[in-house]
Structure 1
Amino acid sequence: MPNASARLKHGRRTRRRRREDPARNELVSSSLESAQQCLFNQDYGTAFVHYLLVLNLAPMFKDFARESFRFTLFKWTEELDSVGRIQDLFDCYEQALELFPADEVILNSMGEHLFRMGFRDEAAGHFHKALKLRPDYPEARENFYRVANWLVERWHFLMLNDHGRNRKYQQAIQKAVQSGCNTVLDIGTGTGILGMCAKKAGAAEVYACELSKTMYELACEVVTANGMDGSIKILHMKSLEMEVPKDIPHRVSLVVTETVDAGLFGEGIIESLIHAWHHLLLPPQRGENEFQEPSATGRVIPAGATVFGMALESISAAGELRSPVSCSPEPDDSMEPYTTERLSRLPGGYKPLTEPFTALNIDFNNVQELEGLSSREVQQIRLPVTQEGELDALAVWFQLHLDEESSLSTGPQEDTCWEQAIYPVHSFVLKPQDELLVEVSCRDAFLRLCSVAVLRDGHEIRLDKRLDLQDSGNPIPNPNPNTEAELCSALACLQTDQNPTKDFCMLECSEMALLNNNDYHQSFCSALAKLFSQLKVKCQNKERGSGVQSGPTDSADSSDLLYVLDVSEGFSLLSLIAASNGHVKAYSSVEKTKQQEVLKRLARSNNVPEQHLEFWLNHTEDEQGMLKRPSREKLWSAIMLDCVETCGLIRQKLMEKASLARCLLEDGGQIFPAKIVVHGMLVESDTLLLESAVQGQEPTLGFNIAPFINQFTVPVHVFLDFSTLECRHLSDSVELFVLDLMDSTANYTNREVTVQATSAGRLTAIPFWYHIYLDQEISVSTLSQNSHWKQAAVVLQQPLEVRARDRVHLAVKLHKSAISISAHIQNTPGQMEQ
């Protein structure tokens, strides 16, 4: 058959044409028509089903129907979201991505839903895919930057830039491997650096585990790039879930880890090491007189730790270190008992009131000691007071013993990537010759320190029993001074209580910081009172003009009540402030039942009628929209928008919310705030560079890591505390941008700003913050000393050398809610990108 191959090729070229199916075509045509009719009738669920049918039966319509299908998908999933049908929502997105797997808009939108639901790893994957498909897609880029701040926390960069820490870990691992520890498990591997150190030192087998999907994938990339992908097995799981031989073939002789936080135990090192000793590690070395081969014994790096503490006073404004965390001796899994600060950067510094003391010693190579840690008796330590001062906090740091010879210190005087753990205490003025009684415990595997008493002249003054209302502040400016004490008592219930009652409510750190921002609440109180006064005068003038007599102004069911809507995220007192003005009905966005009960209790303390405070999110089935007013009510007199995130960024979709809010205001009504002015400054800060990316061209310990983790470098650094940032100011503060929430015609997207340098230096960043104008006269600053907000900063990829009096040109852009800034020196060619 000499011509068979030719016939075979011919058969491949001439594929049989598909037969037309009239019934199928009719179904596609009628379904497409039905989809369009359902869209017209706003029946998005049915329209979505019709589109699925059409596009599955007739893929040739994909380009034609893409925009309408997207619109239908987004409207239908909004409805599903509003009624809590989350699984159905994600099913719709999965069906959409089966049809359009390379649609960057659908990928980005699904990522946004995932992020709001708390699935940050999955959200990042969708944003990253969208960016790969369309690198200039600004929405996906902004979303990826926001997610990157969560997924790869900035301390990863700090640790990789901490050459001393890296070198000491490498030396300890090398010594252990060379002494016979040939099988190694790296718990919480991060970038994989410790596991690679073990392999480079000659370990025969190296395993690693990482819970974060993002960091797991990053470690796999790093290990592959360094030629070790065949010799290091990385598992995407918690070490607590690992088993022998299911996950690793046998027990290992060495565990390396750095799963410690500023409070030592906050990342679960105790639990993970107990599990490792029982299930993953060879038994520890026994006494010196008992024969045991080194290869048959297990050990841990770090070998142990010593924890130190000190009582101190913050030299800066009172309350600087009174952090909103739980310092109760009663364990509470919902909150760490400490916050963190870098004491060396505190504005004004700090004053030690006692000598440093040893709070705890722990041996990580002794499993019995690890298991007994949480059941240790509470240790009471007597600390002589060395100088007079106001007790603000107990500070804690530790020395991490890597082995018998090498250690790392996180002390306040050390030049490391570590901060110190800060335990807030009841404020009390200490005097020399006093003794401070401090209790140390490790219940629930957190290190807990609590100052319980002061010994003075033979008498014991209990600190854990006294109620210091100053700690709570007085965040609600109370128009009725006679209820001040009741209000403070109610607020005190928001703090941790030694004997929590059924009404006890635990707030998040950021929410407690908000409560203590007196300027913020006082400003809202003044601005609302002014607006209400203006609206009442306007109403009275209107009634006089029409000859209608107004009814009693204190009537609870009066038809001319003023209506206020607070759409703040999380816990907020603004609705209560509004309702406490009288003749106002306020709607709160607070969702949690316990927090609603707190607001109701505070309302009673302020004599606010119960019917004047409602929680509109309890009725989302009826509302179906963020800023929709309750049925049968008139337009809103005031709508309060939550404009700035605690991290220092403008809230997403703020301008869209403001646009909607303006349509819902009564004549003379007000959006709060009315305007936001962005301010910034030129600074030189090596710290910001170290926290933003792995610096330098040299490999880290000889490993190629920087190109991979630096993919998560973001142009805007968030959660920045400008008051403690190590930096040199290179200019005065300047106005960068204005957002007018009441007048959309006054807004713009780009602005050119020229800043004159006041000092010479390397321009590395432009920190920015906000002046939030509630009206033309009343404003609050996110940079103020008692602000609950942090700041943000645009970090330049390459520093820009400036001289004093140079004119630095800034191009400021706002896209959606993302601020970007590029900089160059005028009359100098080239532009330095952000």
Structure 2
Amino acid sequence: MPNSNSKLHRSPRGGREAGRRELVTRSLQSAQHCLEDQDFGTAYAHYLLVLNLAPELKTSVKETFQFTLFKWAEELDSLARIPDLFNCYEQALELYPNDEVICNSMGEHLFRMGFRDEAAGYFHKAVKLNPDFADARENFYRVANWLVERWHFIMLNDSKRNLTYLRAIQNAVHSGCTSVLDIGTGTGILSMFAKKAGASSVYACELSKTMYELARDVVAANNMEREINLLHLKSLDLEIPRHMPERVSLVVTETVDAGLFGEGIVESLIHAWEHLLLQPKVGAVDVYVYMRLVLYQAKQHTIISGCTRGSSGWRVETQEVAGVCLSNAVQFFSPTYACAGSEETVEPYTTEKLSRVPGGYIPLTEPCQVMTVDFNDLQELKSLAARKPWKLSLPVIEGGILDAVVVWFVLQLDDEHALSTSPSEETCWEQAVYPVQGRLDYSVKAGDTVVMEVCCQDCYLKIQKVSSLPPECGMDFGDRDDPLSLGNEAELCHALAGLQTTSKQDGSSQVCVLESTEIALLNDVPYHECFKAAMGQVLLSLNPGKDLQSMDVDGHGGEANVPASQSKGSPDEVPDPLYILDVSEGFSILPIIAGKLGPVRAYSSVEKEQHQAALNVIAEANHFPKETLEFWLSHLEDESVVLQRPKSDKLWSIIILDVIETSGLIQQEVMEKAAISRCLLHSGGKIFPQYVLVYGMLVESESLLLESAVQGSEPTLGFNVAPFINQFKVPVRVYLDLSTLPCLPLSEPAELLRLDLMNPLLHSSSREVKVQICKSGRVTAIPFWYHIHLDEEHSLNTSEESSHWKQAAVVLDEPIPVEAGEELLLEVQHHKSNLSITVKR
């Protein structure tokens, strides 16, 4: 007994070590059994225990632990146990702090839940840990566009704008405004201007966590971290003395958007005057804002009468598409028009760089000043939102189609310095465009008068109720002191009486709100005609006894969609319906076009109820039997199984996949969807498109460089900003229009890649392409676009002027000087939606 006790006392450590090893072994076995039973939660708990007891096993169990974590996280996500999900990831990152796969997965969960700033941090860390990790790199590129919007690069590259701000701030500081608050500091450049001008104290606030951290790095790199007090706060939450010891004598800010008020500048300045600023005194900087307005028509340059590229995303221009009547019972509006009569806060305008509108623009009126706002007048700021709507009228100087009202402004920084966002200026700014919608007739003549209502509401300048008056209404501007206002309300009402300027809107009319990309698609007639022809060919091949003409239902007695029980012939003569599935993004009328071609059951993946209602109205107007069109997602609890059979014994004859985003990128996971689709096709059935060819060419474009990255310290007046904001640059610019992009082509278009959805043996995810230089210059970018082949006979070119698609471009990190006649080698790779192109000599 004593011997036994002494033995225990001599080796307690050895006994504990044996017990630890045994517990680790049993936990590993239990974890494996749980994985086999798909009990991921318990398996995850066992692995946590193993890794905490035996850190030396981290490398050997890493992959299995990752798999278990991701499966358990999916389960927690489906159960809405979000705190538990993130707790699991935090535990995993304590064990594997430098694991890029776990960082990326954590970012994906955060991004799906709307935490973009936090997601960006994890994606960025994953890319830093492994620059070749394609999933993390693409995730970071996508989130970077949300976090650091592309206009930051354009504005920082605008040296004229920067110099104007610097000089105005210097004037203010030298006149005695030595304590400064920068609201919405962004990269911190205005704060650094103030410090350089000699301000004794500078405060800067920024709400975005990403931009706050970026500004902190920029300020430190310029040796001003002790002189500029950066605050991660919204200006409305700033308090004295909690955040600043006393009121400041100058506020600098550029929290204005293309429509002036859209970033909440009025609210923030009212708060600043009441709580943060000293009262005005002699020498304080005055800020005035002016606005001007113009009506314009984008020039017609398509063969479709009445359709312009400028308005193709604002209103539906046609009443019939590929034989389908769109029906007067449906009114299509863009979100900007739909918000006019509602209380919902929706941005009432889109933005365009007028100098790049496809086909140019025609001013239909002279520019005129709409309003003046004095940012140094607190009472004026307070009364702005409460101001009643007022009416403006402008004489038409040139006849045309009234497409939009365009607004820009002049920012008067002080008596000497001003910034204009006019389309005639060389500026980084776009203009605010208010589409004109809801009229029966959009044409105006010289001498007409355009009347509109203007108001400031929900932090936006709104322009609505646009109408036109002919000269015979007797509106005379010559005798009025203010030619902009119709002072006699009775005269206006009399002039408008009897004039029908808007579409009929009553209870029987179905209103359908479409995004601008969906409206542009509906206006793309060649797109729909091409699909009609290709689908008709497939249906003919599967119904060889019919010809296309007899299959085409014209709405006046065609029998292709008549049920067998109602057919005049024998029931045996009526073929079974063919099944067509359209999984296009957004609003699509392709299922209805298919239904016009023969005995089909068309399934649509349209989700929004108002879109489904509009399609039902269109189907009814085209005399479809009720069972012809079905909304497939309404049958499914899980959208991920959208590619499945409509019935256990039926396969799809046609599956329509969205391959190219409107932005010019390839849709994510499209090849995976194609692989599933091939297994679900009827013999002789087709996927549309069957293959896609990617084309590109080498160009020199200074514009693309300026829009993609800050070009050194020269445009930022010597301040070191570029290396920090350029961490958020993305190699691919989207939503380009090659017809208006300022660039010099240096090569002919070349085929870069083939994406084959029907024949995977012909698909190429990577390729090397030799391109010959035809003109000397500097290669700065490679714009690319697609030839979408529905089959060998029918294809669409996404670079055509009639196309609803935009183009994209890979922008090189460093320009490559080239001489005519030499060759460059392009290494092209496709991963998910990302197209990467490396250029070698």
TM bin, normalised by shorter chain, reads 0.7 to 0.9
The corresponding residue for 1:386 is 397
Is 1:669 the counterpart of 2:689 in the alignment? no
Distance 1:622 1:687 in 2: 44
Is 1:314 the counterpart of 2:292 in the alignment? no
Determine if contact 1:82/1:625 at 8 Å carries over to the other structure: no
Q: Which amino acid aligns with 2:541?
A: Q
Q: CA deviation at 1:604?
A: 3.7
The corresponding residue for 2:346 is 335
The corresponding residue for 2:730 is 714
Map 1:453-472; keep pairs closer than 5 Å: 453-458=468-473, 460=495, 466=501
The corresponding residue for 1:101 is 97
Q: Which amino acid aligns with 2:517?
A: S
The corresponding residue for 1:289 is none
TM-score, normalization: structure 1?
0.84
Q: Which amino acid aligns with 2:354?
A: L
Determine if contact 2:299/2:308 at 8 Å carries over to the other structure: no
Q: CA deviation at 1:649?
A: 1.2
Q: CA deviation at 1:786?
A: 3.6
Determine if contact 1:170/1:194 at 8 Å carries over to the other structure: yes
Map 1:187-206; keep pairs closer than 5 Å: 187-206=183-202
TM-score, normalization: structure 2?
0.83
The corresponding residue for 1:353 is 364
Q: CA deviation at 1:136?
A: 2.4
The corresponding residue for 1:486 is none
Map 1:546-695; keep pairs closer than 5 Å: 554=564, 560-578=576-594, 581=597, 583-618=599-634, 621=637, 625=641, 627-629=643-645, 632=648, 634-695=650-711
Residues 523, 49 of structure 1: CA spacing in aligned structure 2 closer, same or farther, 3 A cutoff?
farther
Range that drifts further, 440-449 or 703-712: 440-449
The corresponding residue for 1:471 is none
Residues 335, 552 of structure 1: CA spacing in aligned structure 2 closer, same or farther, 3 A cutoff?
closer
The corresponding residue for 1:799 is 815
Distance 2:58 2:661 in 1: 39
Q: CA deviation at 1:186?
A: 0.9
Determine if contact 1:222/1:705 at 8 Å carries over to the other structure: yes
Q: Which amino acid aligns with 1:121?
A: D
Distance 2:817 2:215 in 1: 35
Q: Which amino acid aligns with 2:531?
A: F
Range that drifts further, 194-203 or 574-583: 574-583
User: What runs of 5+ residues in structure 1 fail to find an aligned partner?
Assistant: 1-14, 286-292, 469-488, 490-496, 541-549, 825-830
Is 1:522 the counterpart of 2:537 in the alignment? no
Deviation string, structure 1 residues 125-144 (Cα, Å, up to 9, x no partner): 11111122222222222222
Determine if contact 2:753/2:765 at 8 Å carries over to the other structure: no
Is 1:446 the counterpart of 2:460 in the alignment? yes
Determine if contact 1:181/1:254 at 8 Å carries over to the other structure: yes
Distance 2:589 2:824 in 1: 42
The corresponding residue for 1:414 is 425
Q: Which amino acid aligns with 1:429?
A: S
The corresponding residue for 1:731 is 747
The corresponding residue for 1:137 is 133
Map 1:477-516; keep pairs closer than 5 Å: 504-516=511-523
Deviation string, structure 1 residues 20-59 (Cα, Å, up to 9, x no partner): 3777655544443343334334454554444444444444
The corresponding residue for 2:36 is 40
Which secondary structure does the structure 2 equivalent of 1:704 belong to?
coil
The corresponding residue for 2:6 is none
Residues 465, 277 of structure 1: CA spacing in aligned structure 2 closer, same or farther, 3 A cutoff?
farther
Give the length in aligned residue pairs: 763
Range that drifts further, 694-703 or 530-539: 530-539
Distance 1:86 1:576 in 2: 41
Deviation string, structure 1 residues 360-393 (Cα, Å, up to 9, x no partner): 2111111221222223232222222222222222
Q: Which amino acid aligns with 2:836?
A: S
The corresponding residue for 1:167 is 163
Q: CA deviation at 1:83?
A: 6.6
Q: CA deviation at 1:276?
A: 1.9
Which secondary structure does the structure 2 equivalent of 1:787 belong to?
coil
Distance 2:510 2:815 in 1: 53
Is 1:531 the counterpart of 2:527 in the alignment? no
Distance 1:398 1:781 in 2: 38
Q: Which amino acid aligns with 1:780?
A: L
Determine if contact 2:561/2:624 at 8 Å carries over to the other structure: no
Structure with more contact order per residue of length (Cα contacts < 8 Å, sep ≥ 6): 2
Q: CA deviation at 1:660?
A: 2.2
Range that drifts further, 573-582 or 425-434: 573-582
Q: Which amino acid aligns with 1:730?
A: L
Residues 718, 195 of structure 1: CA spacing in aligned structure 2 closer, same or farther, 3 A cutoff?
same
Distance 1:45 1:639 in 2: 38
Residues 594, 207 of structure 1: CA spacing in aligned structure 2 closer, same or farther, 3 A cutoff?
farther
Residues 356, 255 of structure 1: CA spacing in aligned structure 2 closer, same or farther, 3 A cutoff?
same
The corresponding residue for 1:788 is 804
Distance 1:393 1:551 in 2: 42
Q: Which amino acid aligns with 2:468?
A: A
Q: CA deviation at 1:257?
A: 0.7
Which of 245, 250, 260 is equivalent to 1:254?
Answer: 250
Residues 239, 582 of structure 1: CA spacing in aligned structure 2 closer, same or farther, 3 A cutoff?
farther
Is 1:396 the counterpart of 2:392 in the alignment? no
Q: CA deviation at 1:78?
A: 4.2
Is 1:764 the counterpart of 2:780 in the alignment? yes
Q: Which amino acid aligns with 1:449?
A: I
User: What runs of 5+ residues in structure 2 fail to find an aligned partner?
Assistant: 1-10, 302-306, 315-333, 475-494, 548-559
Which secondary structure does the structure 2 equivalent of 1:102 belong to?
coil
Q: CA deviation at 1:403?
A: 1.3
Is 1:436 the counterpart of 2:420 in the alignment? no
Which secondary structure does the structure 1 equivalent of 2:386 belong to?
coil
Distance 1:221 1:213 in 2: 12
Residues 280, 146 of structure 1: CA spacing in aligned structure 2 closer, same or farther, 3 A cutoff?
same
Report the identity percentage: 56
Q: Which amino acid aligns with 1:383?
A: L
Distance 2:360 2:677 in 1: 45
Range that drifts further, 130-139 or 561-570: 561-570
Q: Which amino acid aligns with 1:394?
A: V
Is 1:747 the counterpart of 2:763 in the alignment? yes
Q: CA deviation at 1:338?
A: 1.8
Range that drifts further, 503-512 or 408-417: 503-512
Q: Which amino acid aligns with 1:171?
A: R
- CA-atom RMSD, angstroms? 3.4
Determine if contact 2:184/2:204 at 8 Å carries over to the other structure: yes
The corresponding residue for 2:145 is 149
Which secondary structure does the structure 1 equivalent of 2:394 belong to?
strand
Distance 1:21 1:105 in 2: 32
Residues 645, 327 of structure 1: CA spacing in aligned structure 2 closer, same or farther, 3 A cutoff?
same
The corresponding residue for 1:8 is none
Determine if contact 1:83/1:620 at 8 Å carries over to the other structure: no
Residues 104, 453 of structure 1: CA spacing in aligned structure 2 closer, same or farther, 3 A cutoff?
same
Q: CA deviation at 1:553?
A: 5.5
Which secondary structure does the structure 1 equivalent of 2:135 belong to?
helix
Q: Which amino acid aligns with 2:297?
A: E
Deviation string, structure 1 residues 317-373 (Cα, Å, up to 9, x no partner): 332222434146435645322222222223432222111111121111112212222
Residues 307, 213 of structure 1: CA spacing in aligned structure 2 closer, same or farther, 3 A cutoff?
same
Range that drifts further, 521-530 or 416-425: 521-530
Determine if contact 1:111/1:126 at 8 Å carries over to the other structure: yes
Residues 19, 111 of structure 1: CA spacing in aligned structure 2 closer, same or farther, 3 A cutoff?
same
Map 1:215-234; keep pairs closer than 5 Å: 215-234=211-230
